[in-house]
Structure formats: C-alpha cells, structure tokens
A and B are shown apart, each in its own frame.
Chain A
Amino acid sequence: MHDIVLLNDIYKIYTMGEFKVTALKGVSLSIKKGEFVAIMGASGSGKSTLMNILGCLDSPTKGKYYLEGVEVSRFSKNELAEIRNKKLGFVFQNFNLLSRTTVVENIELPFIYSKKISKNDIDKIHHIMRILGLDGFQKHYPNQLSGGQQQRVAIARAIVNDPTLLLADEPTGNLDSATSKDVMSVLTNLNQNLGITIVLVTHETDIAGYTRRVVVLKDGKVLSDTPSSSSAIPVVRAP
C-alpha cells in the first residue's frame, strides 16, 4: 500500500527583499492511510509552513511531495486548487468561515468549485452536520455560533468532499479547554470511525495525546517522530 503522504527532503525558503528565511530544512516524512498525526514544536519551527505545503496552499522551494503517489510539488496553481478541492480538507486556528454566509452555504463551499450540488450532496451535508452536532444551525450565520460550533462548521466544510487528508493547524488554539476537548473528540471520532487521515498542529501535549503519532519540528527539521505517549497502538515509522 502507498503512503498517502510522502515528503522527500522538503525545503521552504522565504525571500523578503535581501533576507532569506529557510523555514524548512530538508523535512522527510511519510503518512499512511488512517493515521492521526500531531505536529509539535516551538513557535517559528516551521509547523505552519509544513502544513501549508501538505495542504497544497504553498509549494516547496526544493524537494518532492507525493500525495497518493502523485508528485504535487511541481503542480501549477490551478492543479493545486483542484487537489485542494478534491483531496484535501483544511481547518484553521481562526476558523476562516465566510461571515455573511449561512452555515450550510459555508459547508457546501467546496462543491461550488467542483460541480452542481445534487440532492445527494445536500443529504450528505445534513448527515455530516448531524454527526458534528450542528443539526438545526443550517440557517445560522457564523457570528451567531460559539467558537466550538464555528470550528465544527469548519471541520464539516473540510470533510464534505471526502478528503484523502484532513489538515488542522492549531484547531483548538482559539478555544477554551472544554471546547477544545469537544473539537478533539470530533476529530478522533472522524479518524476512528470514518478512517479519515488527520494531521494536526498543536502546542499542547494533552491535545497531542488524542493522536497516535507525534512529529516534533525544530528549526525546520524533524527533531523526533514517535508514537503518542498516550497511544497504545504502535506507529509505522517513515522509511
């Protein structure tokens, strides 16, 4: 079986005028289907940079990124948009919902850019909303929801197109601990019951405790890659 994600010696260099910041210095990583991975590390260690590359929001300066065996690191902007639409789901720290747009319309957003919305899709959105405990909030606007509810809407939007990979950059960073637990149990549920592969970034060890594998970055390099301490199941290591 192919790895869903295979990163091979990834570099990301930001150029700001005369300055060059090397945010990633040769990251190699592989993630298998169904894994639940936490990425940790100090601020500025390159976690978001890595997530953006994994999420096809950005391209690496050097190195190869294979998503389901396809090299996406040399894809054009348009091809990347297509990949984001079909294979990836992204959850942000600040939710990033469209503000004057209803919950349902936010969730169906990925469909707008891929197809005509069918009866099937509408049923599916309902189903997902029920799973995530959002039933009855269809016509609400994001600012009428709590932070945890907003983040669940964002998760619904991220999984509505059955992504190969769900990426979450500090999904609980703006939430209190009770709501964080709530969101983490949603993600755990998606991973365990629906088999969705999840990579999330966090600063908190107890959040990382929900996952099965912890990758620690330091100065743009992988410092360690170990099974999560609280996880009972051993994790297959990158080659």
Chain B
Amino acid sequence: MTALFKIALRAIKRNKLRSSLTILGIVIGVGAVIVMVSIGQGAKAFVEKQLESLGTNVLIIIPISTTHAAARGTTGIITLTAEDAFAMVKECSAISYVSPGIRTTTQVVYGNMNWTTGVSGAGPDYQIIRNWTLHGGRFITQQDVNTMAKVCVLGQTVVTNLFGALDPIDRWVRVNNIPFKVVGVLSAKGQSPTGQDQDDMVLMPYTTVQRKIMGVTYISYVLASSTTAESRFEAIDQITSLLRQRHRLRPNEENDFTVISQVEFASTVMETSHTMTVLLGSIAFVSLFVGGIGIMNIMLVSTTERTREIGIRMAVGAKEKDILFQFLIEATVLSSIGGVVGIILGIFTSKLVSYYGGWPSLLSSPSVAVAFLFSNMVGIFFGYYPAKKASRLNPIDALRYE
C-alpha cells in the first residue's frame, strides 16, 4: 500500500503543471464549500448573538417612512414625539415598556481628560428594554426626565477612558461646557454582534439631551418592548394604527414612521445568508462536478499514456486490484491536494469577505473535515472508472501498446 502511494505521488510530481490544472476545479469547489459553510455558520451565530443581546421582543420605531414620505421630502424627523411614545404604552395592550430616544456624538470631559462618544437620551424603561445591569449607582428616573436633570449614566469604556481606576459616581463631567453629575455606571456588555463597543456610551434623560445639549424638541427613535416575543406582530399593528391616527394620516397616505423588529431583522439576515448559501452551494456543486470530470479526464489520459507501464506491472505480477488501487490512489491524492488548497483558499476568502464585506464568518473544524472528505470522495468517485478500466487491461495488449 505504501509502495502504491509512492508510485502515485511520483506520477503526480512528474506532471506538475497538468496536475495543478486538474485540481483547479476541486480547489474552487472545496473553497466554495468552505466559504459557504463559514458564512452560513457566521450568520447564524451573528443572529443568535444579536437576538440574545437585543432581546426578541424589542421594537424600534423610527420616524422615516419606508418609501414615499422620505422621497417626498416630508420632514419626518419632527413627527415622532415623546408623547407618541407614551401613547404607545397607554393605548397598545401588546406594549409593556417604551423609551423615547435621541442620540448625538460629542466630547465628554473630566478634569483634563476627554473622550468622544455617543450620548443617548433615554427614559427610565430603557434599562429594562435593553436589559442593562448597573455596576454601581442608579439609573435615570422619571424624576430626572421630568426635571431635565443634568445627570448621566456611564458605560464602562467611558469610565475607563475618563476616570481610570477612580470611582466616577457623584463626580462631574462636562459636555458642551455644562456639568453633568454621574449617578450610575453600567456593567460591561462588550462588543455587539456587529463589532461595536456597547459600553462606549453615555446615557442621559432624553429631555436633557433634547434641551440642554441639542436644543431640539423631537426624538429620533422610540424603543419599545412587546409583552412577549410572540405578541410583537400585534404590537406592530397596534403601534401602526395608533401612530397613523396621532399623525392624522389619511388612508391614502404612507406611514411616516417604520417599526423594526429584531426578529424580522434577524430573519432578513438569515434569508440573505440562505440565499448566499444556495448560491455558493451551487458554485461548489458545479465546480466539484467539473473538477471531478477533470480528474476523470486526466486519469483516462494518464492511464492510456501509461498502458505499457500497466502491462509491465501486470507482467511481473500486479493483480487487477493493484492497478486499480494505484490509479485510485493517484486520483484521490490529486483531489486531496485540491481539497487542502481549496480549504486554505476558502478560509482566506471567508476572512476577506467578513473583513471587507462586514459579513460574519465562522469556521468549525468539523466543516473543514467534511470539505476535505468531500474532495476525497470526488477523487474516488471520478477516479474509479479510469482506474477500473486500466485494471481490466489484458497484460498482452497492454505490453504491445505503442
């Protein structure tokens, strides 16, 4: 068996260029399998993490119409108000919490330290909706909101960058030269599935952000949570009719807001990844098939070229199975080399896709093993016919072959 391996390897080395052209199809096929699997798995992991970190019952209402309102240039921004948000909890039975939201990016100063970060205006329910825990102090209260209190709650990244090891509670930071008292610190959440640092954030009462920092009266979004994950559809319907009514939209007018659900977002991601999987899967299938045909073709040429060699081997006692194995091993080694190169190429490509395309990818060793096994099987499957044909040769005819 080892002798047969040596023979096969030598034959492959002898025709380096031909061998590398032969395995090209396998390389592309296996590469596509790897990219397909890693993108599929990456998307799945991404979605699971996203759902886990945002919650399955979170809804986001943003004041931009899906289609025409925006195109018409309707100033949708001002149409969404805090009162809309409160009406939602009051009127919609499927909504349990809401938090009006507004966000800006600005510099936060403590002493001689400064840090540029996102400042989010929120209501007291924000903590429940986004499932934040406090590392210390307290969260924003309704009282804070009512009085536009100059208080803030800091994320861990902000704490680290402004305070180092100091306890920031009850200390004062400055935003736009206005002092804000730190009343609470959030526990660390780490990176979001999209790679953003969730702890790089300052929370303030949304009224404070509106009036003291931005000088506006609108809100840029509403975060809401439905009573259960299942009731989100009902919640979406209720919000839609409530807001249409509140915004006095005529039946022929488009919504001037959009309700986004995390689950729907997740399923969009899954659908996209599924489409990509199908696409890559067909590329993989076609290239593996073409690669297999290539191997079969080259093996047929190779066995014909080497008919005399086969005859000589048979004359000194090679049995049918010896010849069969010799060429089967050659085909399998060829396709395995293709498999290994394809795996490397696939890993490289999926890394590239996730780096430049922002698409998550995840590769497990079982899927690499499966891809490798696949390339082996292609070799055995397509190498069998030429090998069998060679092994069936009559020694006399093979020896006489010119």
- A-side residues, CB < 8 A to B, are 52, 55, 57-58, 77-78, 81-82, 84-86, 90, 92, 96-98, 100, 109-110, 112-114, 157
User: A113, B318: Cβ atoms under 8 Å?
Assistant: yes
Given contacts A57-B399, A92-B399, A112-B3, contact A100 B315 (CB under 8 A): no
Q: Which of A52, A81, A92 contacts B317 (CB 8 A)?
A: A81
User: A157, B316: Cβ atoms under 8 Å?
Assistant: yes
How far is the CB of A128 from the nearest CB of chain B, in Å?
15
Q: A-facing mask of B335-374, CB < 8 A → 1, else 0?
A: 0000000000000000000000000000000000000000
Residue of B nearest to A81 (CB): B319
Residue of B nearest to A112 (CB): B3
Chain A CB within 8 A of B84 CB: no
How far is the CB of A93 from the nearest CB of chain B, in Å?
11
Given contacts A96-B311, A96-B312, A98-B309, contact A114 B396 (CB under 8 A): no
Chain A residues in 8 Å Cβ range of B320:
77-78, 81
A157 to B313, CA, bound (A): 11
User: B317, A96: Cβ atoms under 8 Å?
Assistant: no
Residue of B nearest to A158 (CB): B316
Residue of A nearest to B311 (CB): A96
Q: Which of B309, B313, B315 contacts A57 (CB 8 A)?
A: B315
User: B319, A113: Cβ atoms under 8 Å?
Assistant: yes
The 26 listed contacts between A and B (C-beta, < 8 Å) are: A55-B315, A57-B395, A58-B395, A77-B320, A78-B319, A78-B320, A81-B319, A82-B317, A84-B316, A85-B316, A85-B317, A92-B399, A96-B308, A96-B311, A96-B312, A97-B312, A100-B10, A109-B312, A109-B313, A110-B316, A110-B317, A112-B318, A113-B313, A113-B319, A114-B317, A157-B316
Chain A CB within 8 A of B72 CB: no
User: B3, A90: Cβ atoms under 8 Å?
Assistant: no
Which B1-39 residues have C-beta < 8 A from chain A? 3, 10, 14
User: B396, A52: Cβ atoms under 8 Å?
Assistant: yes
Chain B residues in 8 Å Cβ range of A112:
3, 318
User: A84, B317: Cβ atoms under 8 Å?
Assistant: yes
Q: A-facing mask of B292-319, CB < 8 A → 1, else 0?
A: 0000000000000000110111111111
A57 to B395, CA, bound (A): 6
A162 to B300, CA, bound (A): 35
Residue of A nearest to B315 (CB): A90
User: B317, A113: Cβ atoms under 8 Å?
Assistant: yes
User: A82, B319: Cβ atoms under 8 Å?
Assistant: yes
Q: Which of B312, B316, B318, B320 has the most chain A CB atoms closer than 10 A to its own CB?
A: B316
Residue of A nearest to B10 (CB): A100
Chain A CB within 8 A of B197 CB: no
Residue of B nearest to A86 (CB): B317
Chain B residues in 8 Å Cβ range of A57:
314-315, 395-396, 399
Chain A residues in 8 Å Cβ range of B199:
none
Q: Which of A90, A96, A113 has the most chain B CB atoms closer than 10 A to its own CB?
A: A113
Chain B residues in 8 Å Cβ range of A82:
317, 319
Chain B residues in 8 Å Cβ range of A109:
312-313, 316
Chain B residues in 8 Å Cβ range of A92:
399
A112 to B14, CA, bound (A): 21
A213 to B277, CA, bound (A): 77
User: A100, B317: Cβ atoms under 8 Å?
Assistant: no
A131 to B24, CA, bound (A): 49
A92 to B308, CA, bound (A): 12
A112 to B399, CA, bound (A): 19
A84 to B319, CA, bound (A): 10
Residue of B nearest to A53 (CB): B396
Residue of A nearest to B398 (CB): A57
How far is the CB of B322 from the nearest CB of chain A, in Å?
6
Chain A residues in 8 Å Cβ range of B319:
77-78, 81-82, 113
User: A100, B313: Cβ atoms under 8 Å?
Assistant: no
